[in-house]
Structure 1
């Protein structure tokens, strides 16, 4: 039997973590008071309960409302660097050995910073975190689906410009309804022409068409969420009887999907943990792995996500190792760097744990 202690200690890989969705409550209060910014409450317990109420009530509107208060404290170089540093610190405490954090630079220019200053400040914090903890990272820049295609292209160009300083990919996020990814095709074509990396939020609040566009039109290398892919399958119980052409393509091409259990349940993308398609995808050999999405709003972290998955889907330690390696194989860093982390860190630590717990 896998235990919570084992899950806490295993090496982990985080590939879908929003910087503005993972702030410490104490930091939000301190920075808000320093900059004279409003908050729903200055009591840590009350404020935390306010931030997680959307997830607890399965209300997407309440869930999204909270971001205004994290974003408002991320408008100066000093604050951005601190938030990024603390994110690395918090991930390292869970024994995350590689992480890709993402954020939308455009949301952090409200007090005069330009896009380059925003990215430099975040990278400074991530670098300081790496130096302090040893945790290796990549940064993903997000454009917002409701922005103009011209602005999206500017964020894509920004991502490529910082590709030698820690930015590893380009993403597009935001409301899927009425904002199809193909609207921003010029940005994606620019990224592809530069031999750079693409992950796209798709199949979370909208159906198979969103995933199809992300892959076949926009050239996504990974899919953020993708839970609605089940609509392209004939499923009975936990068995897939037939795959549609898109799901078969994703399986055959080993297209990675970033699964966020608690976030998906909390925003209503899926009804419950029991009905989340992660287990079906995993047990039918899709390349899926677990992510936190928004650690603050979903009151979660990778340790909690793996604990939930182990309990709900009867995962073994070997399953958790495979899921972690799935994630590392899907990371947006160079091949040799991935192989080094897989063999020198992940497999090594799992072997030591199996020996310690006398697991064959």
Structure 2
């Protein structure tokens, strides 16, 4: 029983880690594809959290975006800023969520309902920040449910609880574009207006300037050209930006891989020890079978068959447990990092788990069979 459980746990560890690894990669790729940006310009120190706490390292971001848009290979450049903001329908019931600032003309926010922002950025007013504020806001479906609001309703928004009560923003659309990318509840407003309510207009700060390249342009070549012109920033293609993000999870994945190795070693050791113990306990019976003419290979096959059987049973048990454990871990991951469906279990994951189980059983069978073939001698029989 303990052998079967050890093999099942080893298989479960493998399938769950593989599911997490695949999920991190596939989820990241999907989110970057949905963002629809070819190049990301930023600087060191960018670390987004679930509450939008982030350093916005790019200064004079509107000017930088305008400079990039003047390049023939660039179709659009958009400064993006993130900041924690307090949001709510009642002044005494405000919650901290991620605020995203984008240009009013930003074209990558697919709407599920509503008309979106008014065109033009009247508040920025060519860098003066003296124009009228539209006080328009887009929210994601989670935020809409959280505050029970829809298009046409209003929300208090501010960088603190006290300042939030001074401004109301009208919900002009619902979009999950950036909440899916960030994995957290997100409200989106014109960049200049987010900068105003967070007090960053003086330096025109942003987190990223994203670039969409012109049709047919080599994004890697465009990225290299921008990097040469702006060595003070980190310029990456969307693939490189994803790899940079993924590197933050490598330590977690490495720790998980270590646990998997330990689980595999424990499964092999327990299987081998149990089969060898069975062989020792059946020493006289096996010796008697040897005495009547059965070959050592046949005796080794008997014990080996036990190992394969234990491997298959333990493997199937681990595979059957995988969906349930993956579901629980997926819910935990959704609460911790904000991404749903983070664990992916394609057929290849189950096939790999079954191969591991058979491999453990086979290795145990080989070692135990060798022990049987060596010790099953006629002279060990008692009179």
TM-score range, shorter chain: under 0.3
Q: Which has the higher contact order (CA 8 A, sep 6+)?
A: 2
Q: Select the structure of larger CA radius of gyration.
A: 2
Q: TM-score, normalised by structure 1?
A: 0.23
